[in-house]
C-alpha cells in the first residue's frame, strides 16, 4: 500500500468540474484529488463503477501522490482533439480548443443518434483535421461496425476504429472484415487479462489509460508486453490526472500516435489552469492545483461524505489485494 487510510483522508479534496458539453452522459465531473508527499494524484472512478473496479483508479491516484513520476524520455506529447457527439455545426467550436492538433478522435455510436449523424460529424472534422479516428465505446454489433467502417471511410480514411464492439471476440471479427485498423480500449482496461485482446488478434492499437489500469507503472508494464502500438488516453481526467498521464506517456520507449490527453478543454473550470496545446502538443510537467479553485469547485458536504466513504471501501480493497 502507498499510504495509511488516515493519512490519505487528510490529503483529499473532492471537486465537481462543470463541462462545456455532455460527455459520457454527464455534464459535471466529480472526482477527488490527493495532495501527496510526492505530488498530486487523482481518484476519479466514474460514479457507476463498483468498488473493485474503482480501487484500481485509487491505486493510480495513490501512486502519483506518494511516488515520484517515471523518468521521462520526451518533453512534449502530441495530442488528438476530442470531439463529443455534437452536431456538425458545433465541430469548429470544439476543434478551436485544440490548437495545432493534426489528429481528432470523434465520438460515434451515441445512443439516440444514427450512423448518418456520425458520418456528418466525421466529415465536419475532416474539413479541418487531416487524421481522424473514431471511438464507439463498444456501441455497435459486428454487422453495425462493418457497415459503419464502410460509411465512415467513403469520403476519406480513418486512422482506426476504437472499441467498435464490446467483446474481444467481436473485435476480432470486425478486424477480419474491415480494412480500417481496430483499437481496443475497454477490452484492455476493463479486462481481467489486459493481454487477451492481443492473443486473440483482435486489435492493431492499444488505448491505455493510467487510472483504470492502476497507475503509470502498471501502464508501462502492459505497454511492454502488448506488442502493438500504444495510445495513452485520459479517462475524463482533471488537470492533475492529465499531468499523470502525460508523465506516463513521456516515459514509454515508443509512442507512434497522438495521445488522447487534450480533454481538459472539455471543462469550463478545472483545478488548475490547463496547459494549452502548442503546435498540437502538451508539455510534460507537474501540476499543482490552485487552492482558490479547489475551494470554489468543492462539492457539497453530502457529496464529500459519499466520496470519503468510497475511498474507505476502495482502500480496503487495495489492502486485501496486497495481502
Is the distance from CB of 222 to CB of 194 less than 8 angstroms? yes
| 190 tagged catalytic | no
Classify 215 in phi/psi space as left (phi over 0), alpha (psi -120 to 50) or beta: left
List 133, 209, 257, 310, catalytic entry: 209
List 107, 121, 133, 257, catalytic entry: 107
Q: Is 117 annotated as a binding residue?
A: no
Residues pairing with 14 in the sheet? 32
| 209 tagged catalytic | yes
Cell for 105?
478522435
Residues pairing with 32 in the sheet? 14, 43
Cell for 46?
466514474
Strands (E), the chain: 12-23, 26-35, 40-43, 76-78, 81-83, 103-107, 131-135, 161-162, 182-184, 205-209, 230-233, 281-283
Is the distance from CB of 65 to CB of 38 less than 8 angstroms? yes
**Cα 262 from Cα 74, distance rounded (Å):** 17
Q: Is 279 annotated as a binding residue?
A: no
Nearest of 184, 129, 186, 185 to residue 157 by alpha carbon:
129
Q: Is 193 annotated as a binding residue?
A: no
List active site positions.
107, 209
Binding site, annotated residues: 135, 162, 185
Binding site, annotated residues for Mg(2+): 135, 162, 185
Amino acid at each position: 500500500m502507498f499510504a495509511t487510510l488516515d493519512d490519505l483522508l487528510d490529503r483529499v479534496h473532492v471537486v465537481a468540474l462543470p463541462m462545456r458539453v455532455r460527455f459520457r452522459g454527464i455534464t459535471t465531473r466529480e472526482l477527488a484529488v490527493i495532495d501527496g508527499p510526492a505530488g498530486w494524484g487523482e481518484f476519479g472512478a466514474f460514479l457507476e463503477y463498483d468498488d473493485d473496479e474503482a480501487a484500481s483508479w485509487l491505486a493510480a491516484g495513490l501512486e502519483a501522490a506518494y511516488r515520484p513520476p517515471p523518468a521521462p524520455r520526451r518533453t512534449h506529447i502530441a495530442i488528438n482533439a476530442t470531439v463529443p457527439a455534437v452536431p456538425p455545426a458545433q465541430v469548429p467550436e470544439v476543434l478551436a480548443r485544440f490548437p495545432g492538433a493534426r489528429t481528432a478522435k470523434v465520438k460515434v455510436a451515441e445512443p439516440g443518434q444514427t450512423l448518418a449523424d456520425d458520418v456528418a460529424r466525421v466529415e465536419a472534422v475532416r474539413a479541418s483535421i487531416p487524421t481522424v479516428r473514431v471511438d464507439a465505446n463498444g456501441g455497435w454489433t459486428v454487422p453495425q461496425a462493418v457497415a459503419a467502417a464502410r460509411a465512415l471511410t467513403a469520403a476519406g480514411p480513418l486512422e482506426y476504429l476504437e472499441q467498435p464492439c464490446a467483446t474481444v471476440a467481436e473485435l476480432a471479427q470486425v478486424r477480419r472484415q474491415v480494412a480500417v485498423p481496430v483499437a481496443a480500449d475497454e477490452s484492455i482496461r476493463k479486462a481481467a487479462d489486459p493481454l487477451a485482446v492481443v492473443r486473440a488478434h483482435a486489435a492493431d492499437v492499444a488505448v491505455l489509460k493510467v487510472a483504470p489500469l492502476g497507475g503509470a507503472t502498471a501502464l508501462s508494464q502492459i505497454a511492454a508486453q502488448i506488442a502493438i502500438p500504444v495510445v495513452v488516453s485520459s479517462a475524463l481526467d482533471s488537470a492533475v490526472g492529465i499531468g499523470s498521464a502525460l508523465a506516463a506517456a513521456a516515459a514509454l520507449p515508443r509512442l507512434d500516435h497522438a495521445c488522447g490527453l487534450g480533454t481538459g478543454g472539455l471543462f469550463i473550470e478545472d483545478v488548475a489552469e490547463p496547459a494549452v496545446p502548442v503546435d498540437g502538443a502538451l508539455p510534460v510537467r507537474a501540476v499543482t492545483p490552485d487552492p482558490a479553485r479547489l475551494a470554489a469547485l468543492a462539492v457539497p458536504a453530502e457529496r464529500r461524505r459519499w466520496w470519503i466513504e468510497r475511498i474507505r471501501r476502495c482502500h480496503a480493497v487495495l489492502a486485501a489485494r496486497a495481502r
